[in-house]
Structure 1
Amino acid sequence: MSEKQTGHSLESGMSTVSPTNGSNEKANDNFLNHKVLDELEKPAQIQKVVQEAILLAGGAAAILLQVAEPGVGKGVDEHSNFAYRPMDRLRTTMTYVYCMAFGSRSEKVAVIEMVHRAHAVVKGPNYSADDPQLQLWVAATLYAVGIELYQQMFGKMTEQEAEGIYREYSVLAVSLRVKPEMWPASRRAFWEYWDHQVETMEITENARRVAHDLLWNKELPLHIRLLLPVVRLTTAELLPKRIREAYGLKSTKLRRGAYRVTLGLTKATYPCLPKTIRTYPMRYYLKDMRRRLRNVA
């Protein structure tokens, strides 16, 4: 796979709580401060990656990787209506990513506040959604899956370009209450952290329930349920082997062949699509975000 070919491989609803009146005070606390907002001001390199609709193809894989962390799995399974609205987490995540990459400064403040307030109530005896280690892992999955799919479609980046994009992805972690020094200093350090996480995580029943609700959900509209076999195929091939097998997903010779054919056809056609089509989800989610912010203002 492209990102780690020379060393490693991926294989080895916004809260409706309205923002507080003290937004300016919030912007000065330890996590939502001017430095973070300055770094988010013009993330030109990350914009090039996250604007692409193809990243949505890795949404299920990113979610399953996130909930593979037991604390995240408990939070999602025990504090959300995932079984009935499984697409909400994807919507919330992508809205957050798009806002951090393309939103105005005031929009970023409002969305970060909403996420922090939503996380504040997600806690239990052995976990808290505000735990920086959990949020570091969530941000790591967004980078790993996103950069993998992007390079599958557009080819391998230069070292300079790849490092620049990697550094900009760190702001997603920092805005989720992760201290800047917790984000691995380089891509090499990142993949070492990644491999350690993958090799030591144990898939819990919470995570398995989320996976079932995501990949075999009968509550979804018919047109989405018809796509689930393709989603399961893509997700299985994007997940590291150990995580895939722990979820009970299969990767047979036939399935790998089908995935290669699907990937080949997509790679041949997707980059040729007009940019207005490739960026439609980004524009849709940003429009939806702005409508929601107006409604809670």
Structure 2
Amino acid sequence: MFGPGSQFHAFFDDPRWALAIVRATVLEAAHPQIGAALIDNSTFVVHPWRRLRNTLVSLQRMFGPDAQVRQREAARLNRLHARLNGTDAQDRPYDAMDPDVRAWVVATLFESAVTMCRLSGQPLEQAAMEQLYAEFQAFLAAFGDEAGHLPLSLHEFWTYYDRVVEEELENTEAMRIILYKLFDHLPAPPLLNSLPTLWAAGRTVAGPLIGAITVASLPEPFRRRSGLPELPGAQTLTQGAYLAVGLARFLPDGWVRTDTITDLLALSLDSDDPRARTASALRDKVDRAAALLRLIAPLPPEPEPAATGGGQRGAEEFFREVLDQTGNGYLDWPDLAAMARELSSRLDLDEPLETRLYSAFADWWRELQPALDTDGDGRISAHEYAAAVPSLAGPALIKLAEVLFDATDKDGNQTIDADEYRALFRTAFHRDTAGTEVAYTRSAFVKDFLSFMSGRRRSTPYDPLLAQA
């Protein structure tokens, strides 16, 4: 069911999966419970590349051959989902641990994989489809959910799928954001941060195209009921896109690997990863080509990339880039929970350290809210934050820095060595002191963390940690 030889393993590095996963995400977001949870808690609008990488790493672990890794990842995801509950704008409850909701997420992944093959002219044979469905059933079972929320047989699945599409899915805000806003405003991945004009030009073309392809691939009853516009010729365009992207499968082995591509997109150019040197050289060539193009056909000058070496940043900029993780214009508990979630994922924390980190963020929120929430609406606006010009380095933030140090210091020797540093920041550690015994002490770590979080100073390692897309 898992690992090499499984149907899903063959699909994971298939470039068509990039289109299929967008489609599956739209169908998930159209479920009212999932859509509400995404709007309230997710960072997918502001930090899409971070979210994508974390999702792919999780899928690799869940569908990999190691049962212990799979059980550990399932436990981590269960803890994460247990923290996601609330009510939507219509006062309807949502709960990420609802077994019917979890079954629908798995259903969208399976059905989108089947649709991916059909649209690219290579429909799955019945035996292969049965095998893939059994793998997704095993995937759901790994979370400990009781059988029955996902139909037991493939024949029953299609009746279940049609019923949910026709009776439960809605034109949710989260779905509309994914289709019409996400790609229009998609920030550049870290590797392309220094090429904003080139990225914006590509996004302007690709965004509407991906949206049109995705809409055309959705079930027709749902498109009609939700009033989703379908462009003339979109069905042909969709089939052509899946077919064209699928041709990349015939490239030499190793050229198209999902984990390699996502790692490169998230790669910091000051990392000591050998690939960073190659990426940096490639970027220099692109810069020279762009300069030559501007000589031939002058374009508006590209904005200078933001400095990251320790300069001051304004309060509203800090609020937007660091504190407002969900991108809704306010600071509230889901934003700090998103920080805890990202740090826990980077450090691959187990209990009880994960809970300690979440609790430290919760204590910080309880310290911030009464001090900054001047209108008493339960959240902090950018204006409230900027007007107060607060010093955030209170006791709770100091405690948070201490807990984060303990979580990073895996061997408990009260210093952070190069490997521990890299696990948190994914970049080099004291490159200029190679060969010497230099470590990051607790006091230095706490001082730097507080300086970044309260002094609003840019920091080469901390900016990518919480502000990176």
The alignment partner of 1:180 has SS state of coil
1:198 alignment partner in structure 2: 165
Hey, what does 1:274 align to over in structure 2? 252
Within the alignment, does 1:83 sit opposite 2:60 as a pair? no
- Inter-partner Cα distance in structure 1 for 2:207 and 2:249: 24
Contact conserved, 2:3 with 2:9, CA < 8 A, in 1? no
Residues 1:233 and 2:201 aligned together: no
Offset, 1:229: 2.5
Figure out how many residues of one structure are paired with residues of the other and give that number: 257
Supply the distance in 2 between the matched residues of 1:265 and 1:82 (Cα, whole angstroms).
27
Select which of 36, 54, 62 maps to 1:74.
Answer: 36
Deviations 1:24-47 (A, max 9, x none): xxxxxxxxxxxxxxx657772332
Contact 1:46 1:101 in 2 (8 A): yes
Q: 1:183 aligns with which of 150, 170, 183?
A: 150
- Closer/same/farther in 2, CA of residues 118 and 291 from structure 1, 3 Å limit: closer
SS of residue paired to 1:228: helix
Paired amino acid for 1:293: D
1:162 maps to 2:129: yes
| Cα distance in 1 between the residues matched to 2:254 and 2:188 | 27
Match of 1:128 in 2: 95
Distance (Å, rounded) in 2 between the aligned partners of 1:281 and 1:247: 33
Alpha-carbon offset, residue 151 of structure 1: 4.6
Which of the numbers 107, 118, 139 marks the counterpart of 1:172? 139
Aligned to 2:111: 144
Alignment of 1:49-60 (within 5 A): 49-60=11-22
Structure 1 271/51 Cα, relative in aligned 2: closer, same or farther at 3 Å? Answer: closer
Task: Give unmatched runs, 5+ long, in structure 2.
Answer: 88-92, 190-195, 267-343, 350-406, 411-469
Is 1:216 the counterpart of 2:184? The answer is yes
Residue 218 of structure 1 deviates from its aligned partner by 5.0
Cα gap change, 1:286 to 1:141, in 2 (>3 Å)? farther
- Give yes or no for the alignment of 1:261 onto 2:229: no
**Does structure 1 retain, via aligned residues, the 8 Å contact 2:75–2:143?**
no
What is the letter of the counterpart of residue 75 of structure 2? E
Q: Structure 1 or 2: larger helix share?
A: 1
Counterpart of 2:235 in structure 1: which amino acid?
R
CA shift digits 1:182-231 (9 cap, x unpaired):
22122221111110011012223344345444243254555372421231
**169-178 or 126-135: bigger deviation:** 169-178
* 2:241 pairs with 1:243: no
1:117 counterpart letter in structure 2: R
Deviation at 1:179, TM superposition (A): 1.8
TM-score computed with the length of structure 1 as normaliser: 0.73
> Contact 1:174–1:180 at 8 Å: present in 2 too?
yes
Q: Is the 8 A contact 2:103 2:150 kept in 1?
A: yes
Structure 1 position 276, deviation (Å): 1.7
Deviation sequence 1:16-68 (CA, Å, 0-9, x none): xxxxxxxxxxxxxxxxxxxxxxx657772332233423211222211110011
Q: 1:5 — aligned with what?
A: none
Q: Which has the higher contact order (CA 8 A, sep 6+)?
A: 1
Q: Which amino acid aligns with 1:191?
A: W
Q: Which amino acid aligns with 1:173?
A: L
Q: Contact 2:74–2:142 at 8 Å: present in 1 too?
A: yes
Q: How far apart are 1:77 and its partner, in Å?
A: 0.6
| SS in structure 2 at match of 1:182 | coil
Partner amino acid for 1:70? P
Query: Which whole-Å CA distance do the structure 2 matches of 1:58 and 1:196 have between them?
Result: 21
Q: Which amino acid aligns with 2:156?
A: A
Aligned to 1:36: none
- Residue of structure 1 in register with 2:456 after alignment: none
Three-state SS of the structure 1 residue aligned to 2:229 is coil
CA distance in 1, matches of 2:127, 2:263: 29
Residues 186-195 or 171-180, more deviating? 171-180
**Is the partner of 1:253 in helix, strand or coil?**
coil
1:293 is matched with which residue? 348
Check conservation: 1:74, 1:206, Cα contact below 8 A.
yes
Kept after mapping to 2: 8 A contact 1:82/1:213: no
Q: How far off its partner does 1:238 sit? A: 1.7
Is the CA contact (8 Å cut-off) linking 2:8 and 2:135 kept in structure 1?
Answer: yes
> Residue 48 of structure 1: SS of its match in structure 2?
helix
Overall identity of the aligned pairs, in %: 21
Distance between the aligned counterparts of 1:43 and 1:120, measured in 2?
32
3-state SS, counterpart of residue 123 of structure 2: coil
Kept in 2: contact 1:70–1:207 (CA 8 A): no
Write out per-residue CA displacement over residues 227-276 of structure 1, whole angstroms, 9 at most, x where no aligned residue: 21231122112211243356654323233333343344344x23422232
Specify the code of the residue in structure 2 equivalent to 1:74: A
Q: Is the 8 A contact 2:36 2:174 kept in 1?
A: yes
Alpha-carbon spacing, 1:165–1:237, altered in 2? closer, same or farther (3 Å): same
The residue number in structure 2 matching 1:15 is none
Provide the rounded CA distance (Å) in 1 between the counterparts of 2:263 and 2:52: 14
**Residue in structure 1 matched with residue 337 of structure 2 by the alignment:** none
